[in-house]
Structure 1
Amino acid sequence: MLELTDDLRIGHPVIDTDHQRLIDIINEFNDHSASINNEKLMHETLKALLSYGREHFAREEKIQRECMYPYQNMHFHEHKALLEQVQDIARAYFVTKSRPLNEKSISELNEFLKTWLIGHVKKFDTNLREWVAPSNECPEPDGEQKLFRLPSSDMAALVIDDDATSRALLVKLLNVMGASVVLEASDAIEGLQLAFSDPVPDIIITDLNMEPMDGFSVVGAIRASQKNYISCIPVIIFSATDDNDLMAKSMAIGATGALKKPFNPRDLSKFLFQVLKNRSGKL
């Protein structure tokens, strides 16, 4: 009987409750693996797993946006791959029937469930602890939040936003964080012209809803560049709405992160610091 042990706990009540549900699914599968027919057990387990995955991943990705988790893109694609695996397994057994339902199929599904729990929850989700658990940090004496500094003093940033107030706040934040150059543009066309010019930005922050080109277009243009030093630039999308479908699309087309306005300066500075630190380690 599996349990939600401390090494699997994240420290966020919603995520931990969801992970307990996954453990319940695994335990129910193991409890009934010898008592009911293979077809019924496989069908009910895969159906429960697909429903759980869709609901849990949507909730977890929303929490990641709220806490400005810097590994959103990696996590999104891991979630996508897990759901595709469940769908492929279900298709093989119940649609194309290319794989027989027998004791071996039960064993294979059991291994997949363990991989999900150990390979995903323990390997990926536990990295969330630092970001989602309640902070015990004391506030600054003057009431102001201490911002994270950029990993290097020679980093350039590009802010693309048609809202002058939002743009000014981001520019100010990046300057305080120690950016050597902060470029700004009021629309995507101007922003992309700057992105493909000197100095090449180390990070791009773009609003989602802009005319005539939106933030998706910015991400698409950057990722489509034939120049590797352009195509690998971290691109963060900001939106005034937290629509799961829009945010999922942001991840699917290659955004590094999808965040909701308004933002907490310290949280955003921590997010940007980690994103740029990760990038520096890969260059």
Structure 2
Amino acid sequence: MLELTDDLRIGHPVIDADHQRLIEIINEFLEHSKTENNSQVLHETLKSLLAYGRDHFAREERIQRQCLYPHQQGHHHEHKSLLDQVREIARTYFIAKTKPLNQASVTEVNELLKAWLIGHVKKYDTSMRDWVAAPKEPAAAERLASPDLAALIIGPDPQSRTRLAELLTGLGAARVLQAADGFKGLELAFGDPVPDLVFCDLEMEPMDGAAVAGALRCSGKAYISRIPLLLLTASDDADAIQNAMNAGASGLYPKDFDPRNLGRLLNLAVKT
């Protein structure tokens, strides 16, 4: 029987509990495939995997955004690929019925489960351990590497802007500009000094954060089009998040993000 060993643990209780459930699904499949008919085993396993994957991936991506994990978008695509594989196998055997239900089909699902546990959890999820796991000892926040970094905050709520400006100043930002809407924000982004990075509220009117992203990325000036743009949102809407990323955002995070990784994230964003 498989177990959630230390090399598979991430250090976040919700994610580790979800991975324990994945191992239970795998163990149930391995046990039942010895004695039950292929159709029942495959149907129950694929059904469990699809339900598990949808819920787990949504939770995991929410945690990643909360902890400012910089590679969340890559995880999103990996998650989508895994769910697409489950759907395609289910379609092949139970809808289109283009392949027979036999030992080969059991082997195919077994390979998928191994890829999920070893290829995804062990090789992929463990990369976020340092970002999402609770620190064993309190550590000082990583300060900004650049001593003259200028940041721009765009958003309609002055209290939110002030709170973020204080965080950035505390991390060593030399200058923090503020704008209450997208139009004023773009004016500052194209002005002097040109900001090294931009934070922008996704939900704004009349120009939202996705529109600001598009305007920056379409700039004829390369040094402006490459400015890291981090969008902040109060929504967990997957389509809205993906649309914002497609518009050119460098990352999208909740407004109530955990600030302990902020300096680390910004140093990576500016370096990239």
Deviation at 1:4, TM superposition (A): 0.6
TM-score by length of 2: 0.84
In the alignment, which residue of structure 1 is the partner of 2:237?
245
In the alignment, which residue of structure 2 is the partner of 1:186?
180
After superposition, the C-alpha distances for 1:25-63 in whole angstroms (9 at most, x for unaligned) are 111111122323322222211111010001111222222
Confirm whether residue 76 of structure 1 aligns to residue 76 of structure 2: yes
Deviation at 1:147, TM superposition (A): 4.1
Amino acid at match of 1:250: I
Which residue of 155, 159, 165 maps to 2:153?
159
221-230 or 168-177: bigger deviation = 221-230
- Check conservation: 1:205, 1:236, Cα contact below 8 A: yes
The DSSP-based 3-state class of the residue aligned with 2:230 is: strand
After superposition, the C-alpha distances for 1:130-166 in whole angstroms (9 at most, x for unaligned) are 2333333348xxxxxx543213234332211111221
- Check conservation: 2:2, 2:27, Cα contact below 8 A: yes
Matches of 1:272 and 1:96 in 2, distance apart?
51
Change (3 A) 1:138 1:177: closer
Aligned pair count reads: 269
After superposition, the CA RMSD in angstroms is 2.8
- Check conservation: 2:228, 2:269, Cα contact below 8 A: no
Aligned 1:15-54 pairs, distance under 5 A: 15-54=15-54
- Check conservation: 2:231, 2:252, Cα contact below 8 A: yes
Matches of 1:233 and 1:102 in 2, distance apart?
54
Query: Any gaps of 5 or more consecutive residues in structure 2?
Result: none
Matches of 1:134 and 1:37 in 2, distance apart?
44
In the alignment, which residue of structure 2 is the partner of 1:110?
110
Change (3 A) 1:57 1:244: same
In the alignment, which residue of structure 2 is the partner of 1:260?
254
Amino acid at match of 1:176: G
Aligned 1:114-129 pairs, distance under 5 A: 114-129=114-129
State percent identity of aligned pairs. Answer: 55
Change (3 A) 1:203 1:39: farther
In the alignment, which residue of structure 1 is the partner of 2:90?
90
Query: Any gaps of 5 or more consecutive residues in structure 1?
Result: 140-145
